[in-house]
Amino acid sequence: MPALSLDAPLAVAGLLIGIVVGLTGMGGGALMTPVLVFFFKIDPLTAISSDIVVSLFMKPAAAIVHLRRGTVNLQLVGWLCLGSVPAAFIGAWFISVLALDAGSTTIIKQALGVALLVATGGLIVRSLLQMWRKRLPLGEGPATVTHAPVVRIKPIPTIVLGAVAGFMVGVTSVGAGSIIIVILLLIYPSLKASALVGTDLTQAIPLVAAAAAGHYVFGSISFAVAGSLLVGAIPGAWLGAHMSSRAPGGIIRRILAVLLLASGLKLIGMSTELVVLAAIAAIVLGNLIWRYIRSRVAPKSTAARSPDPAVSGTDAGPS
């Protein structure tokens, strides 16, 4: 393998995206792949393949924080991986076959755009559910330490969820963090927010490993691109996971939702003018809806939001 040279702008991009992943639990592919395509002009298949390699090394940095704090449900991780690991490998094979056809770049961009729009919807649904469940006007507050509770596992929907998310990651590098957390929140409402994020980050490791193996065999990985991104992404994910108890992720997710919406619309072929109008409409309407919900949600008392004195002073990862 040729010697790798460090690309400073790519390393900075990796650092910023890594912080967002650790802070919010959002999958890096939803941000990193569009950044590589739009700002660094890297072809979509190489961007997807390289981003998956980065995720393989970035996610453990954040997952270890959650494992040490006991905010991972290992049973759920196992059932999710039964579906996600083979599906992720198949997804990598599928996108490599698609790339052999004429006009594949356009098709891959459109698939990535659809995945980003799905991820945007997942972020919005997640934020709304957290606002109503936690009764916090700002959506999501800092997480407090709480061990993952014992839940009654539902094997079939959990395996299906893993398979769908795994295939999406294999094809587009987008889907794990944005989709799995939202569906897990609906299937297992008793899981705390920190346990949802910790479980998702942990199950994503074997999922992404399978996708990376598939892209190594079938795809177009650029180790030069991946190496530069990793220099920033690994410390960024670690920092973000530790910052997550000190800064609410809700506001950050709203900003990201608008950015992902604009990127998704652009990738599926919408003109720049319409993308800008859609982004403005999302900001205006989103703000109005947020204000309405905020007026209907009574904030919890300070005592209710305070962490347990026995665990005060520690963090549990992004809510």
pLDDT for 175-219, tens place per residue? 655 567 777 877 887 777 667 777 887 888 899 899 999 988 886
Task: State the Cα–Cα distance between residues 55 and 37, nearest whole angstrom.
Answer: 17
Whether 58 contacts 234, CB under 8 Å: yes
Q: Which of 226, 225, 224 is nearest to 1 (CA)?
A: 224
Q: How large is the average pLDDT for residues 107-136?
A: 70
Whether the pLDDT of residue 154 is over 70: the answer is: yes
In whole angstroms, what separates CA 88 from the centre of its chain?
A: 15
Instruction: Copy the structure tokens of residue 51.
Output: 């981003």
Label residue 24 by pLDDT band (50, 70, 90).
low
Instruction: Copy the structure tokens of residue 161.
Output: 């969820």
Which DSSP symbol is given to 174?
Answer: -
Task: State the Cα–Cα distance between residues 224 and 135, nearest whole angstrom.
Answer: 46
